[in-house]
Every structure is written in C-alpha cells, then in structure tokens.
C-alpha cells in the first residue's frame, strides 16, 4: 500500500523533489522568456501581428503563427523572438534553431536568451553551453538561465563557475545557486551562500526555510521563518510542511490556523501531514472545512483511507468526488480507488470505476492498467485480468504491468503460466526486479512447483543486481512448507539467523500446521512469540498442531496460556454481494436472517467431505463452537 501512496504522491504533484518546485517556480518567475503584454513596436500593424503570433503560439497553433509571420510585409525583433519562442513552447527546438539561424533573422539579447532557455527547458545542456559561449551580448537573465541549466543537470560546480564569472548579479542569481545546493542536499553550503547574499527576497528566505526543515533542522527553520521581513503563502506552506514531515503536527496546525491567507497547497499540505502521521480523523476534519478542493485534495484523502485499511470510506470519498464534479480524477486517483476495490474484493464497484476510466484519457496508462489487472485478479476474474494485460500493446507494457500479471497468476495458483510469462518478459528484454521474483516464487509455491521455485531462487542468488529481501526467503520457506519439506525449510531459516523475520517464521509455522509437524512447529511458534507475544494466531496454530497429533494436554496448555493473557482470535470475516445486497459473515455468527439454512448446508457439505475420505483440516479443531446450531 505504501507503493500506492508513493504512486499517488508522484502523480499528483509536478515533481518528486518535495517543496522545491514551488520555490523554483517563484524563483524564475521574473526571468521567464515570454513576450511582453505590451508590444514596443513602433508600427501599429507590426504590433498587432506580433500580438496575434504570440497568442497563437501560446495556444499551440504554431503553424497558424508562422502563416501570419509569412504574410507580414515588415517584421521587427519582437516578431522573430515571438515565433522562436512559439516553436520552443511547442517542443520544436530544432525548428526554433533553424528559424534563429536564418540569414534574414533579426535578433537581440532577448532572442538569444529565448533560444538558450529553450535548450535548458528541453534538457539539451551541451547545445545551451555552446550557444551561451558565442552570445554577442549577455544580460543578467542570460547568465541566470545558464546557471539554472547547469543546476537542473546536476552540474553544480559549473553553475557556481558561471555565477563567479557574472559581471553583475541580482537576487535571482543567488537564489538559483542556493536552490541548486538545496536540491543536492548541501545544506551547510546553502546556508553560507544565504548568509552572503547582499540583498535577500522572499524566495531566498523560503528556500532556506525549506532546506533546513527538510534536513530535520526544524527549529533552525523556524528561527529563519520568524526573521523573515515578509512572507508569502509559499513561505508559510514550507514551514508547515517542515513541521508535518518531522511529526510535529500540533505546531504545524497552529501555524496553519495563523496563516493570513491560505491557498489549495496550504490545505493539501496539512491534510497530507495528518495522513502521513496516522491522524486520519484530523485530516478528514480539515478536508471537510476546505472552501475548494482540487484533484490533489480528493486523491490524498482517498489514499489516506486506503493506507489505513478503510477501503469502504475511500470508495465513499471517490463517489463524493464524482458527485461534486469540481475536480476530475487523475491517474493517482484511479490507482488508489482501484486499490480500495481490490482490498474489498468489490467487483461491482471496481467495474463502475473501470467504466469511469474508460471515458477518461487515463485508460491506456500503464499504472492504471496494472491497478485494473490487480483489481480483477483479486476479485476472482483472472480472465478479465488477462484480457487487460493482452490489450496493452507490448511496446506500452512496463515492468510494473508484467509483475502484476505474474502476481495474478500466482494469486490463482497458476504457476506454469506465471513461469511462461516470466520467460516471455525476459525474452523481450525486460530485466526482472525484486518484485518480479517475489511473484514468481509465490506462483511456484502456490502451484506446488518446488524444483522450479528452487531453480529460480538460485538464479536470484546469482543475480547480484537484485537484492535479496525477506519476502524472497519467506516465499522459499512457503515453497518447502507446502511441499512438506519442513526440515529443509527449517535449515534455511537457521542459516538466516537473526535475519529471519516474523514473516519467515510465520511461513514455517504455517507449513508445520498443514503437515502436523510436532517437532519444528513448537520451535517456530516460540520464535514468533518472542517477536509478538500478543498474536493470538501463533498460539492457535500451535494448539492445532498439538491437537492434530493427539497431544491434547499440550493443546489445552496453550489454550490456557491464551486465556491467562486475555488473547482472542479475531473472528474470520467474509462477504458476498447478491444483487444490491451485501451479506457479511463472521465465524460462528448467528446474526444472519438465514443462518439456520446456511449452517444446515455447511453441515451437509461437511458430511460429504467426510465420505470422500480423511483430509487433514485442522481448522475444525480451532472452531469448537462450529457444531452448535
């Protein structure tokens, strides 16, 4: 689920560099290359044409803009700069350069800087570097653009070199270098540069607050925040985010309530802070008080509920979002709400979400396809999951989608199909990662393919590019356990030593439970009790192992220990949707209006199972009260 939450954050915001996009956006606002709203052309006809070219370019209609340009009997430098800027905004950097190089082109420092900015924007740093060196005239914006280009490319040393060569600097020059140092995590250097700035603006101060808060130095960040001569909403948001990320929610909320004005990021920051610290109720309260909500607000709230296992509430928020109509779901929204449907095995709800997706631009996105595939698989519809996978063009499939399909086969015990798909994936040049092997080993385990599973585990050990995780060992222990090879499973766990987690020991205990191993089972249970003495499931599994082996005194002793500690098993729960009604069942529950008929049918089935022959099923040892009607 963490993955979903990560996926939800990365899709909802423009960058994964936390608060920096907000700072950089403000920082470069004054140095963007764009045409002035008021044209300085002396000829009014030229001015009108320039205005039209600029408008068409902003709308992405570069062909129409060029047509206007071609029909102009006279042009000035603003005309040429407008067309070049239009090409750049449309991503046509080669065409922009061709236009720039025309022999009849009229250029000034703004035109040169516009092309320089285009190279930086489209990550062509070498082209930017060559252009910068031959510029006949440079202004402060040209120098700042080159510094920013190096900073974005991670070449902070070159950014500083350019800064030191500048004949004159403004506050944006200083802020650009500080922001670059912040992005590289060089906190102390950023602090020294901040202290050396001859004149600071709100962006300088906010950058410093951000870097200190993000590095855990919240009190220093607050000291800088309190010293700020002026603050804007971004400054307040940066300080609130710092408190929230460092689990100081009360201080974050106190600052939030004191804000002179709030924007949507202010509200979203506070909601995210509460959710990340497990304060879901407080997050919902703030969410309900929002005057306006955007897709980030809705998606964050949905993600919070899914993360806390409250999938029904997540679905309700999604339905509220659809009814509200103020914001349209995005990729992150769909991924998270489908996760809620998967958790609930809510096929009907998942199909409704699928219908909404089919009418959006996100239906062909790999993340959404993976979430749909997972939802249908968890709801028992493997054939639909396979169709979704097959419908995605091979060139569009990413590793996440391949892993999802392998996991779906594993979930349904289709080990052979999982292996074939894994081979196909490798044949197409995809390199398996740790998740790929978890799915594959799980498929081998559920499909009883012990030898194949062992071969793939050995392959994983040899592949030094993939790090072995406890999930891989847990899969291998399960593989041995399901096949009844408990001694080998136990030897593996002993080899792990202190690395063996409760997940690994739990897999071993489960195998002992199935096969009634009276020797290894108690040892595994003992290790699990060390990890978590309050887990009733461990005691019940051990009691069942003793009971299946006829050791009734030991089984009774384990039950007595449970009673002394006040431990009770959480009742098993299942549900089924029939028509518009959802029927929920708990173990030994008699609240259902048809419970007499249901129990009668279950007993008939149990009788038929007995006729079929002795099949080990220790679950009936656990549920002593099952026979009462």
pLDDT at residue 342, as a whole number: 93
DSSP state of 91: T
Question: Hey, how many other C-beta atoms are within 10 angstroms of the C-beta on 36?
Answer: 10
pLDDT at residue 8, as a whole number: 41
Q: Are 119 and 85 in contact (CB under 8 A)?
A: no
pLDDT at residue 580, as a whole number: 64
pLDDT at residue 498, as a whole number: 67
Q: Are 381 and 404 in contact (CB under 8 A)?
A: no
Q: What angle do CA 80, 86, 92 make, to 5 degrees?
A: 110
pLDDT at residue 579, as a whole number: 65
Indicate the burial class of 244 (C-beta count within 10 angstroms; 0-12, 13-18, 19 or more): buried
pLDDT at residue 562, as a whole number: 81
Domains, the chain, in order of start with CATH, read 1-13+293-397 (1.25.40), 469-570 (1.25.40.10), 574-627 (no CATH)
pLDDT tens-digit map of 303-351: 999 999 999 999 999 999 999 988 999 999 999 999 999 998 888 899 9
Positions in the chain whose pLDDT score sits under 50: 1-39, 616-629
Give me the count of residues in the chain: 629
pLDDT at residue 622, as a whole number: 42
106's tokens: 């009229």
pLDDT at residue 333, as a whole number: 96
Which of 276, 372, 284 has its CA nearest to residue 320?
284
């Amino acid at each position: 689920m963490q993955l979903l939450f990560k996926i939800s954050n990365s899709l909802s915001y423009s960058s994964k560099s936390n608060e920096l996009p907000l700072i950089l956006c403000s920082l470069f606002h004054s140095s963007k290359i764009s045409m002035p709203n008021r044209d300085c052309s002396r000829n009014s006809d030229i001015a009108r044409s320039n205005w039209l070219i600029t408008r068409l370019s902003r709308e992405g209609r570069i062909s129409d803009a060029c047509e206007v340009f071609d029909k102009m009997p006279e042009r000035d430098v603003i005309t040429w700069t407008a067309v070049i800027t239009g090409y750049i905004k449309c991503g046509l950097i080669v065409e922009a350069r061709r236009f720039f190089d025309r022999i009849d082109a009229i250029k000034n420092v703004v035109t040169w800087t516009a092309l320089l900015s285009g190279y930086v924007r489209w990550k062509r740093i070498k082209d930017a570097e060559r252009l910068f060196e031959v510029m006949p005239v440079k202004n402060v914006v040209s120098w700042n653009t080159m510094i920013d280009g190096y900073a974005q490319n991670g070449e902070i040393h070159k950014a500083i070199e350019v800064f030191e060569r500048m004949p004159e600097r403004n506050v944006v020059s200083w802020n650009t270098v500080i922001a670059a140092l912040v992005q590289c995590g060089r906190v102390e250097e950023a602090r020294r540069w901040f202290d050396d700035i001859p004149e600071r603006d709100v962006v300088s101060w906010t950058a410093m607050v951000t870097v200190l808060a993000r590095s855990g130095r919240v009190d220093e960040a607050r000291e800088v925040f309190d010293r700020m001569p002026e603050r804007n909403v971004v400054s307040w948001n940066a300080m609130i985010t710092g408190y929230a990320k460092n689990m100081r929610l009360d201080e974050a909320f106190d600052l939030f309530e004191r804000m002179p004005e709030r924007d949507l990021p202010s509200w979203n920051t506070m909601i995210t802070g509460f959710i990340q610290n497990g304060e879901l109720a407080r997050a919902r309260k703030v969410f309900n008080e929002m005057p306006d909500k955007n897709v980030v607000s809705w998606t964050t709230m949905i993600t919070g509920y899914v993360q806390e296992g409250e999938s029904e509430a997540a679905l309700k928020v999604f339905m509220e979002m659809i009814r509200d109509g103020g914001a349209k779901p995005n990729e992150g929204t769909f991924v998270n709400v489908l996760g809620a449907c998967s958790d609930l095995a809510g096929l009907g709800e998942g199909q409704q979400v699928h219908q909404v997706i089919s009418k959006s631009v996100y239906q062909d996105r790999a993340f959404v396809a993976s979430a749909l595939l997972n939802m249908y698989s968890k709801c028992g519809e493997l054939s639909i999951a396979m169709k979704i996978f097959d419908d995605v063009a091979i060139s569009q499939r990413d590793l996440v989608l391949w892993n999802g399909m392998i996991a779906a086969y594993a979930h349904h015990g289709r080990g052979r199909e999982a292996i074939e798909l894994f081979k196909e994936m490798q044949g197409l040049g995809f390199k398996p990662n740790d998740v790929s092997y978890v799915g594959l080993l799980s498929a081998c385990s559920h499909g009883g393919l012990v030898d194949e599973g062992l071969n793939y585990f050995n392959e994983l050990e040899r592949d030094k590019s993939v790090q072995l995780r406890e999930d891989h060992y847990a899969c291998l222990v399960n593989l041995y356990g399901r096949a009844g090879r408990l001694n080998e499973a136990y030897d593996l766990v002993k080899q792990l030593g202190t690395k063996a987690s409760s997940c690994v020991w739990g897999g071993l205990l489960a195998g002992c439970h199935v096969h009634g191993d009276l020797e290894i089972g108690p040892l595994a249970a003992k290790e699990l009790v060390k990890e978590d003495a309050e887990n009733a499931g461990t005691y019940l599994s051990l009691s069942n192992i003793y009971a299946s082996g006829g050791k009734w005194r030991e089984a009774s002793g384990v039950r007595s220990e449970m009673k002394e500690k006040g431990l009770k098993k959480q009742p098993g729960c299942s549900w089924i949707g029939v028509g518009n009604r959802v029927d929920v069942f708990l173990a030994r529950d008699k609240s259902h209006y048809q419970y007499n008929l249901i129990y009668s049918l279950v007993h008939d089935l149990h009788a038929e199972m007995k006729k079929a022959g002795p099949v080990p099923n220790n679950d009936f040892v656990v549920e002593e009260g099952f026979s009462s009607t």
